[in-house]
Amino acid sequence: MDAATPLGTRPAQRALLITSFAVPLTGWTMHALALHRKLAAARRDPLTGLLGRDGYTAKARQILDRYTDTATVLMCDLDHFKAINDTLGHAAGDAVISATADRLSAWAGSRAAVGRLGGDEFALTLRIAPERRQARLAQLIDKLTQPVVLEDRRVVQVAASIGAASANSLGTSSLSLLQRAADTALYKGKHTGRAVLASRADLTAASVNGRRAGRPGTHTVERTA
């Protein structure tokens, strides 16, 4: 009987050991999940919920690497946005930014990379069949030019400029090159109410830190001796 007693206690001992390890493992799991959520939140723009620059870049590159034949990069900004802030206030400007973000997300779909790069500047990377690009871009322009109704019922007239660069047409899947081309195309159609598709010539447009020269934030600071 004495020899049988230790054998009888082994299942209980094993259960105790498993429970002892499970407690810290559960704690670490909860900590890891909380950390993951914080990191995910940090990759989101706090005003719009869109991807921030780093999160957008990572997802956009994945799309370009996987779907080179149909991937299209878009750059988008709002026309006369400063005037909205100056005349109606920054709360109105934030509302317009949020509405634009919602419209971009709805148009692009859940599998696209949609990011806010700063201010009223947005970037998108998604799959669009070549034969549908013009129609889809026209649809987007129509969506972005719908008036925005504020909480106090004031109506804000808005407009947007869009440049698009397709990987297969330009012969590259480099995100930085496609964004430069799309940015250049955007400014070719600025204030015209139409989206512009980039050409190969737009790949070599003058740039500073990968952005079209002359864009806000691209100026360089001269070094003094």
Residue 219 or residue 190, greater confidence: 190
Contact status, residue 45 vs residue 52, Cβ threshold 8 Å: yes
What's residue 76's pLDDT?
Answer: 97
CA angle, 59 as apex, 66 and 71 as ends, to 5°? 45
Residue 135 in 3-state DSSP? helix
Tens-place pLDDT, residues 78-107 = 999 999 999 999 999 999 999 999 999 999
Residues 181, 187, 191, 192: is their CA dihedral positive or negative? negative
Residues 67, 40, 107, 76: is their CA dihedral positive or negative? negative
Tens-place pLDDT, residues 167-183 = 999 999 999 999 999 99
What's residue 20's pLDDT?
Answer: 56
Q: Please report which confidence band the pLDDT of residue 5 belongs to, taking 50, 70 and 90 as the band edges.
A: very low
What's residue 219's pLDDT?
Answer: 37
**Listed range (32-41, 59-68, 78-87, 88-97) with the worst mean pLDDT:** 32-41
Residues 177, 179, 180, 182: is their CA dihedral positive or negative? positive
What's residue 211's pLDDT?
Answer: 53
Q: Which residues pair with 44 in a beta bridge?
A: 51
Q: Which of 74, 75, 72, 92 is nearest to 83 (CA)?
A: 92
* CA–CA gap between residue 177 and residue 72 (Å, rounded): 12
